[in-house]
A and B are shown apart, each in its own frame.
Chain A
Amino acid sequence: MTPLIRNPKDFWAGVIYTAIGLAVIIIGKDYGMGSATKMGPAYFPTVLGALLALIGAVSVVRSFLRPGGPIGVFAYKGIVLVTVATVLFGLLVRGAGIVIAIFVLVLMSAYASVKFRWGPSIVLAFGLAVFCVLVFIKGLGIPLSMLGSWFGG
């Protein structure tokens, strides 16, 4: 027996497209359509949202009819660590300062690699911290500090 979803890539892409398309139409309802002569703020987005939802629906239907390859290895560890490390950088950079934020970003993202070793990564984080403080804060004057507001910086 063949499974219902014969092409998982088509299926999930279709689901994403449809969901976003419908969300755009629903959110756009409050913006005012206007008319073709005098397009309101919702006009163009609604047209595009409808098209996107339609394409998503076609893709979902196609996934039941036409077979396709599996999605393949999904690097959960990599994508989770890289995404979370980047978000943490954003959370920390003002409060804790750029040095701590860089250490967290470098060590956490490097951990995603199968070849991760503590020693070289700590050296790298230290080097990057020195470089960024000198170039970005002292040199280019980006409004960040070495130690953030939590430390009175």
Chain B
Amino acid sequence: MELIHNLGLGFATALTLTNLLYCFAGVFLGTLIGVLPGLGPTATIAILLPVTFTLPPVSALIMLAGIYYGSQYGGSTTSILINVPGEAASVVTTLDGYQMARQGRAGVALATAAIVSFFAGTVTTLLLALFSPPLAELALKFGPADYFSLMVLGLVASVVLAHGSLLHAIGMVILGLLLGLVGTDVNSGMARFTFDVPALFDGIGFVVVAMGMFGLGEIVRNLENENIPLEMVATISSLMPTKEDWKRMIAPILRGTALGAAVGILPGSGSIMGSFAAYSLEKKVSKYSAEFGKGAIEGVAAPESANNAGAQTSFIPMLTLGIPSNPVMALMIGAMIIHGIQPGPLVMTEQPALFWGVIVSMWIGNMMLLVLNLPMIGLWVRIVMVPYPLLFPAILVFCAIGVFSLNNTVVDVYLMALFGLLGYIFIKLDCEPAPLLLGFILGPMMEEYLRRALLISHGNPMVFVTRPISATMLVIAAVALVLVLAPTISKKRAEVFQEEA
């Protein structure tokens, strides 16, 4: 009963004309930029974030969420049509999607991607609505020590699931935590690591870090391999999957949705792991496994449902605990803080309209994608064909002006350039920037919870292991680390990422 009441409130919020408009703007812009190769959801949100600052908080979050799943959607469109994944989660979709397109079934592949995404989105919206209240209630019992340990768990998970060297990923997390501490210490009023630059007294803006590392860094990386020719499959004839297609799709969609939803909740993963896992699972269990890689419809349906399901469920820890599970969620948390909302379990009780409005808007946004995107495929294709030397300078201009407009200071523009340089160097050294961004958001929160926890326990660090919730988190984190370090699994992990690369 309460569920219906909550969803009703959500619909009432999401269906206002303003919010529908921002939801549409979000999915449209998200798809637009998701289509552009090389700019993933993180960069997209970072670039568009300043636009949302002037909006009311609900509209801003609805739009940001729309950008996120819209960009996922755009990514799969280019995967299918030109064999270029617009973002990481749709890499697997290229395998069978592009093959389908070459067999003249591009329309069917695109429609399949849209339909299964909508299905997965519907299921996971319900999951969100069902599981968020009990989780948030549980989170209200958390003390400072528990929160600290939860954040440790989140960071460990992001490290475990990061690409490349474990040691480098841990280093990036700590570096991120440290960068988050730049600025005035809230307790003592002491300016830390500011080098007497007044613009740094409030800390480094997380948009600056995200745009630099994910925007500029990625642009330069893309400049390295500009000469890969794009091959377009032009003909889009029929859109609807045949009866035979439907029959083959149903089981993979259900499995993909379940797998994606489960993996999406895990910190550090988001939608990428889910789509890869779903593809490998289908390849193992399908009776058509010989067709995989040659245009099997299951190879589109399973990963596409999984990546959308994962994208949605990754909102659960963010909305209920205030803990980001991936860089995109870290950006959402940053946006909430800028709007004066303290992320955490209280959001649901104190701002029910915002909480349920955002959840319901995701379902509405998914429907918009389904209805609007198929007719617009022609437009998306033309955008992909824009030559890169015309595209990236324009992105740079928007980044520079966007960053400037945050605080109307050029210092932020210089900092963005610096983080772009750092980001590129780190990419070259196989240090993933994603854990750094998570650490950056969590840095000040972790310090505060650590301070409170130790204050309450009179400086006794045993508080982290004597409180049952905290101890559980730390044990899970330790087990995860040990498992990854164990030789057999680390080999397996290397294989998984090998497939991804």
Contact = CB atoms under 8 A, between A and B. Distances in A.
Contact of B388 (A36, A75, A115): A115
Contact of A36 (B224, B416, B430, B461): B461
A71 B416 CA distance: 24
B170 A55 contact: yes
Contacts of B171: 13, 17, 52, 55-56, 59
Contacts, number: 200
A94 interface: yes
B220 A78 contact: yes
Interface in B158-180: 165, 167-168, 170-171, 174-175, 177-178
A74 to B, nearest CB: 6
A71 B404 contact: no
Contacts of B193: 24, 27-28, 45
Interface residues of B, number: 66
A48 interface: yes
Nearest to B184: A41
Interface string A88-125: 01110110001001100111011011111100110011
Interface string A25-45: 001100110011111110011
Contacts of B387: 115, 120
A94 B408 CA distance: 10
B73 interface: no
B466 to A, nearest CB: 16
Interface residues of A, number: 73
A92 to B, nearest CB: 9
B392 A13 contact: no
B237 interface: no
B370 to A, nearest CB: 30
A116 B413 CA distance: 24
A114 B461 CA distance: 57
Interface string B182-224: 0001011010110000000000000000000000100111011
A52 B459 contact: no
Interface string A73-88: 1110011001101110
Nearest to A91: B410
17 contacts: A13-B426, A17-B171, A21-B174, A39-B187, A41-B188, A71-B429, A75-B424, A78-B223, A85-B396, A86-B417, A87-B417, A90-B400, A107-B393, A109-B396, A115-B226, A115-B388, A124-B390
Interface of A: 9-10, 12-13, 16-17, 20-21, 24, 27-28, 31-32, 35-41, 44-45, 48-49, 51-52, 55-56, 58-59, 62, 71-75, 78-79, 82-83, 85-87, 89-91, 93-94, 98, 101-102, 105-107, 109-110, 112-117, 120-121, 124-125, 128, 132, 136, 140, 142-144
